[in-house]
Chains A and B, each alone.
Chain A
């Protein structure tokens, strides 16, 4: 049985992801020099501003042209560049275990594969990747490391988890938001089927801490369209509640409600400048990653 990244991505898929990079739209704080703009000023080729010379400053940084024009000493300051720290939040709540067809993966499986792909892209860009796994509680947290071994270990841990019974998504998100001190990129892979206002508040918490947040809202296609042919007794996957219904007769109202649910998240994310994406488990992951990262790269130029 394959383990680690090999359990989620085959070499062909990895080859497709090789040249991709995940760029942050905001200033981040890293530990290593890298491609991403840092909140710190430091040594790099990108000019930031001038500052008055004070004793102790490196004489190489004195801007002699300014001295010639003004007879005052100014030193040149440059934008510091750092690496990106990306945290993946993978939801393993009860609802993530749903798959409408044997041909389609469960939402949890899909989210895990997506996490592996994103982790691979991040590490290939020499950025750091960390991971949080949560269900009814925060199940595991892996710190940010710039190492394929660490990613492999994280994915092995993820592989060992199965969807939980319930969900506590909002609480866990608040907890994670408190635990990440420096500005980073937060990627949430979840169906967000929890108390919607609480989830939105948790997302706001991430933004308050100046994190760059990406929400990958994952659904099975049947969840969106309710295109089931037969009436059945439906059982809730988290609280065990049951309901006898004919999906054909309820489709219109169901779709309306689902549309309202998604729309509310979409608008809240737009207001908070959170990148919101809707994913269906019948879409190939590599296609999505490729399209998404290309678009992100285009927008960051």
Chain B
């Protein structure tokens, strides 16, 4: 709908008649001029009448349009963008500001960080509200963060809250924040104009939720989250400020893989770092720093919008937990230029042997040949309750049955959390006492004496079957077939779930079975750990198989070198050796909150701060690094979103996209008051004036006639050219 801000100036439109009047007036005031070649004038007039008439018409049209454009410009025409635009400028409104808080908002532009630009734009929007208009503010993060939850008319408070906001380290989901804001606006009383403003850097990732929702049925399961309905998309106005760089450049270390997973002192560590690149292909130099010492630099040139891998080889690491970091050169987004991880180097893997001295003698000798090695501890079954199993990588039960029910429960919990339990039978316990431990690979059924004539059995490793959970990868010495002489053996029933026979004595007598239990492993031999049941402890096979079992178990429960920020993280996966009285402190110095999610499973509540977390054990004086937390680097891949894509993804009927705060301000003004055509009219007037000047002076006056093609010399001679 076209309206005029200064309708009085519409009188100026009558000026459009001036050219016609002047034309008519000029005709009447002609001066009589004697002229000798009137015959040529008459002929010329006859010949040119149609052209002259057309040119005169064009000139009149140009001049009339010029005056009309000037008249319209003074009258300041406005086009209302909505049918109800006449009262839009006067109506009350509820406004929701959604600010993208993902770390890519820290991208440095010429005018400052995108985050600051967006905050200023948000404050400007609030500042432009009329008294009585209500506003609320939400942060778009992994989950929407209400800053001003309920719309309020206290604009100064809202601006203060916006100015105090800080960017978050993670990613964001704008769709969820917009949905939450709309849900709050919908709850407000009174029928008001509702507007949602999204301040973001314009990266595609935070908007993905809109695209995914567009593909799904709106009524699909949304797990309790707010949903934007079709009606809301049609009714509510969505303004989006895409303030980020149009062609962003960024490089970031995205991942580090450490091998071997369990590193013992003296081993060589191989670190494979991945580096990502947004923008054009460019050489990037990665630096590796371990425990504050620079350990190497590598250059790589990833292709545009791709990732590349770089390998570092590190020797001579001392036992301990070392803080390491991979760095890329400083760029416009410094938040992702560093990737933290921990390198854990162990002196050896600690093991607990439970059982009487005579049953555990050979095993202890195999695991701790130096006798003074404090990594291996042997206890009697009676002492079992006093031992904290989390201090050990593996627990050997050698003729340790029968065990109390409480001990069996502890062992099951230990295995579920990633521990390794290795069971050797013995003569002390009845066969039925093994039945209480349900995590064994199979139910023991009987103990059978083996006749001497069939006692000698070759050991045979059973190849891993497809889908087998428990694998046993140790190779037997080449060219040798170890043989064991059996005196007595435990017969097993059917294998339980996730269990497998790993080694047999002879063709079909299981000697070693294994089972995956939770994150841990349970292995069971069918002979005892001493010489009473077999010659197994005396074979060359015994020592390596004991070490391999510990190592395999340790591999299953290895701590990750780094952790990604997340809402909830299970403690037993990240810090398996965690104790209740441990104090974990975040990089900023606050104590990490843990919550029991049921069944004694602890989770870290809202792991939202990247950096190195430290743990202080009771009694220990110095904290030790326990967890390296990094942001999810998906956000680092900067992919700007266009207005057309945004329109398609969000499918809001009234979507207004601006690329800078000034454009946003103009869009808002146009939406509320109408689009001013005055400037356009002035431009049109200028264009018409130029056209008129050019037409009247260049086209009409500069026509070359035939007589000008004649050259007359001084002697009056005419030379035709």
Binding site for B on A (CB under 8 A): 94-96, 98, 107, 191, 193, 216, 220, 223-226, 230-238, 241-263, 266, 276-280, 283, 287-288, 291-292, 294-295
Q: How far is the CA of A231 from the CA of B24 in the complex (A)?
A: 13
Q: Find out whether the CB atom of A232 lies under 8 angstroms from the CB atom of B33.
A: yes
| Among all A-B residue pairs, the 5 with the closest Cβ atoms | A255-B705, A259-B706, A277-B716, A95-B36, A253-B44
Q: With A and B bound together, what is the CA distance between A223 and B705 in angstroms?
A: 13
Is the Cβ of A250 less than 8 Å from the Cβ of B44?
Answer: yes
Q: Give Cα distance in the complex from A262 to B710, angstroms.
A: 9
Q: How large, as a class, is the contact surface on chain B?
A: 35 or more
Q: How far is the CB of A258 from chain B (nearest CB, A)?
A: 5
Separation of A235 and B41 alpha carbons in the complex (Å): 11
* A-B contact list, 18 entries, CB within 8 Å: A96-B36, A225-B708, A232-B30, A233-B30, A233-B32, A235-B34, A244-B27, A251-B703, A253-B45, A253-B47, A256-B44, A257-B40, A257-B44, A277-B718, A278-B710, A291-B713, A292-B716, A295-B715
Which residues does chain B contribute within 8 Å of A278, judged by CB atoms?
Answer: 710, 712, 716-718
Contact A252–B34 (Cβ < 8 Å): no
For B27, the chain A residues whose CB sits under 8 A away are: 231, 244
Chain B proximity of A193: nearest CB distance (Å)? 6
The answer to the question of B720 belonging to the interface, with a C-beta cut-off of 8 Å to chain A, is yes
B residues in contact (CB < 8 Å) with A: 26-27, 30-45, 47-48, 52, 55-56, 700-701, 703-710, 712-718, 720
Whether A253 lies near B48 (C-beta < 8 A) is: yes
Q: Is A292 a contact of B40 with CB atoms below 8 Å? A: no
**Residue contact A243 to B706, C-beta cutoff 8 Å:** no
Question: Could you say which of A231, A251, A279, A295 contacts B30, with CB atoms under 8 Å apart?
Answer: A231
Give CA–CA (A44, B352) in the complex, Å.
157
The CA of A292 and the CA of B712, in the complex, are separated in Å by 12
Q: Select B41's contact among A107, A216, A220, A250, beta carbons within 8 Å.
A: A250
CA distance A19 to B478 in the complex (A): 135
CB-CB nearest in chain A for B26? A231
Chain B contacts of A258 at CB under 8 A?
A: 37, 40, 705-707
Question: Are B707 and A243 closer than 8 Å at their CB atoms?
Answer: no
Name the contact of B35 in the complex, choosing from A96, A98, A224, A246 (C-beta under 8 A). A98
- For B708, what are the chain A residues with a Cβ–Cβ distance below 8 Å? 225, 255, 259
Inter-chain contacts of A98 with B (CB < 8 A): 34-36
Q: List A contacts of B715 (CB < 8 A).
A: 277, 288, 291-292, 294-295
The answer on a CB contact under 8 Å between A241 and B38 is yes
What's the Cα separation between A255 and B706 when bound, in Å? 6
Closest to B27 in A: A244
The answer to whether A223 touches B36, judged by C-beta atoms less than 8 angstroms apart, is yes
List, in ascending order, chain A residues with CB within 8 A of B717's CB: 277-278, 295
Report the separation of the CA atoms of residues A278 and B42 in the bound assembly, to the nearest whole angstrom: 23
* B41 / chain A contacts, CB cutoff of 8 Å: 226, 234, 243, 245, 247, 250, 254
Contact of B716 among A236, A246, A263, A279 (CB under 8 A): A279
Q: Which residues of A contact B707 (CB under 8 A)?
A: 224-225, 255-256, 258-259, 262
Are the C-beta atoms of B30 and A237 separated by less than 8 Å? no
Residues on the B chain within 8 Å of A246, using CB: 52
Q: Which chain A residues lie closer than 8 Å to B31 at the CB level?
A: 230, 232-233
- B33 to A, closest residue via Cβ: A232
Contact A259 B709 (CB under 8 A): yes
Chain A residue at smallest Cβ distance from B709: A259
Q: With A231-B30, A277-B716, A278-B716 in contact, do A253 and B55 touch (Cβ < 8 Å)?
A: no
Cβ-defined contact, B35 with A234, below 8 A: yes
Q: Decide if A249 touches B714 in the complex (CB within 8 Å).
A: no
Given A249-B52, A276-B718, 17 new contacts (CB under 8 A): A95-B36, A231-B26, A231-B30, A233-B32, A234-B33, A235-B34, A236-B38, A245-B41, A252-B704, A252-B705, A255-B708, A256-B47, A258-B706, A263-B720, A279-B716, A288-B714, A291-B716
- A299, chain B: closest CB distance, angstroms: 11
Q: Which residue of A lies closest to B703 (CB)?
A: A252
Report Cα–Cα, A248/B51, bound state, in Å: 13
Chain B positions within 8 Å of A279 at CB level: 716
Contact for A261 among B40, B700, B720, CB less than 8 A? B40
Q: Output the least CB separation between A250 and chain B (Å).
A: 4
Instruction: Report the Cα distance A63→B700, complex, angstroms.
Output: 76
Residues of B within 8 A of A249 (CB): 48, 52, 55-56, 700
Residue of B nearest to A266 (CB): B718
* Closest CB in chain B relative to A163 CB, distance in Å: 10
Residues of B contacting A250 in the complex (Cβ-Cβ under 8 angstroms): 41, 44-45, 48, 52
Do A245 and B716 touch across chains, with their CB atoms under 8 A apart? no
In Å, the complex CA distance between A107 and B36 comes to: 11
Complex CA gap A191/B37 in Å reads 10
Closest chain B CB from A77 CB (angstroms): 37
Shortest beta-carbon distance, A280 to chain B, in Å? 7
B contact residues around A216 at 8 Å (CB): 716
CA distance A244 to B35 in the complex (A): 12
A191 touches B33 (CB 8 A): no
Expressed in whole angstroms, the Cα–Cα distance for A276 and B717 within the complex equals 7
> With A252-B705, A261-B40 as given contacts, are A232 and B32 in contact (CB-CB < 8 Å)?
yes
